[in-house]
Structure 1
Amino acid sequence: MFSSSTRRIAAFAAATVAGVVALAGTASAHVTVNPREADQGGYARLTFRVPNESETAGTVKVQVKFPLDTPLSSVRYKPHAGWKIDVVKSKLPKPVAVGDYDLTEAVSSITWTAESGVQIKPGEFDEFDVSVGPLPESESLAFPAVQTYSDGKVVNWSDAVKEGAEEPDHPAPTLALNPADAEGDGHGHGAGAAATESPVPATDQKPVANDTDVAASDGTARALGTAGLVVGVVGLALAAYAFLTTRRRNAA
C-alpha cells in the first residue's frame, strides 16, 4: 500500500500535468491570419482561421476589421456555405492616393454570420478567405477580430502584437509586410499572392509552406514543449518520493 505522503505526491503530479496540458491547448487557440506575411504593393489571399475555444458553445459570428489609416482599395470575399456575409464600407477621414486615383472610402469590416443550424462546434475550427490589395508600404497590418458564441459570449481579438514582446492574451491577427522587390512591381511575389488578381509565371513563383504545414509545425512544437514540461513534473514527483522514502528508512 502507498503511504499518505506518496499519494499526495502522486495527486500533485497528476494535477500539475493536467494543468500544463490544458494551458498548452488554450494558448494555441487564437484567431490568426494566414499566410503570416506578404509583400508590400502586392495582392494576397488571406485566410482567417477561427478555432472554437468554448467547451459548451459554438461560434456563430465572426467579424474582421480592416485598417482605415492604410486602406485597401480591393477587398473581395470568398463565398462561405452556411454563412451570411456582410461587408461594410466607411468614408475615409481624408482621401488616400492609391496608384493613379484618390480613395475616398474603403472596406472597414466583414462579418460572417452563421445560418440556422450552422456553427463552429467545440473542438472545431473554420477558415474564412478574402483577397486584398494592393498592400501598403508599412511593416504590418492588423485585422482585429470579434468572435461571438451561441451562449452570447463575445471575445475581442484586438491586442496589439509587438515584435520581440510577449504575446498578449488576445492578439489581433497580424500580417507582416515585406518590402517589394526593387526590380518588380510587388504583385504576385511572396506568400499568399492572389493568382486570380495578379497572375505570375510559374518560374517566378517561390515554394511556400501552406497553412496545413504551418499549423502542423506549430502543433508539433507545442506538443514537444508540453511533453518536456510533463517529464519535468514527473521527475520532481519521483525525486520527492525518493527523498521521503530515504528519510523514513534513516529514521527507522
Structure 2
Amino acid sequence: MPHAGPRRLSTPVTIFLTALVTGVLVLLALNFTAGEKKVQHELPRLYSTASPQFERALGSLLGPGIVGGNEVTELLNGDQIFPPMLAAIKAAQKSVTFETYIYWSGDIGKQFADALSERAQAGVKVHVLLDWVGSAKMEDSYLAEMEQAGVQIKKFHEPHWYNLARLNNRTHRKLLVVDGQVGFTGGVGIAPEWTGNAQNPDHWRDSHYLVRGPAVAQMQATFLDNWLKVTGKVLHGDAYFPPIA
C-alpha cells in the first residue's frame, strides 16, 4: 500500500500565513526604526563658561532656564537622604509627586509606601510614577496598599507589541516634590542598598539634594512631562504650582 505524501497547505492558507509573517516582520522593522533625529556632530564653542551668554544659551537650548534664588542642601547617603524625604511626605498638605527608576522591596520601600498611602488617605493628592523595569522587584502588596489608599500610580513605558522599540526607553529620573514648595533629586533609588552610610559594599554611596526656591517649579514641570506622556492628564493649580512668596 503506497504511503501518503506530506500534506500540502492549501493556497489560501499559504497566502494568509505569508501575509501574516510579512506583516509581523514589517511591524518589527518599523518598531526598531529610529523616528527621531539625533545630534551627530560636536557643536561649535561660541562662548566661554564665564560668559553670561553661555548661561543664557545653555538654558535656552536645554531648558528649563537657569534661575537664581534657590536654597540647595546636599544630602549624603541613605542616613541623610531618606529621613528628610519621608518627613516631607508626612508633612504634605496639598500634593506629592514622586518619580523614580528603582523601587525595590525592603524596609525602606515599605516606609515610602506607608507614608504615601497615609497622605493619600488624608486627602492629599499623591501621584507616583515608577519605571516599569526599575520597579520589577517591588512587591505587589506595596502597589495594592497605595492604590487602595487613593495614590495614583502609573508605570512608565510598559511594553506592548506596538512599542517594542521603546523597551529600553526608561525614566531614570529621581524626583520628589511636596506641595510644590520643596523638592528632592539626585542619585538614590528606593532600595535597601541605598540605606545606611555606605558602611560596606552592600550599602551604596550616593548624593541627593533638597531644593527650595523657583527651581522646585521646574522640577515639578519635569515630573509632569512624563506624567502627561503616561496618563494624558495635566496636573495644575496652586496645589502643584503655588505662588512664589
TM > 0.5 between the two? no
Instruction: Judging by fraction of residues, say which structure has more helix.
Output: 2
Q: Shorter-chain-normalised TM-score: which range? A: under 0.3
TM-score, scaled relative to structure 2 = 0.27
TM-score, scaled relative to structure 1 = 0.27
Instruction: Judging by fraction of residues, say which structure has more strand.
Output: 1
| Larger RCO, structure (CA 8 Å, separation 6 or more) | 1
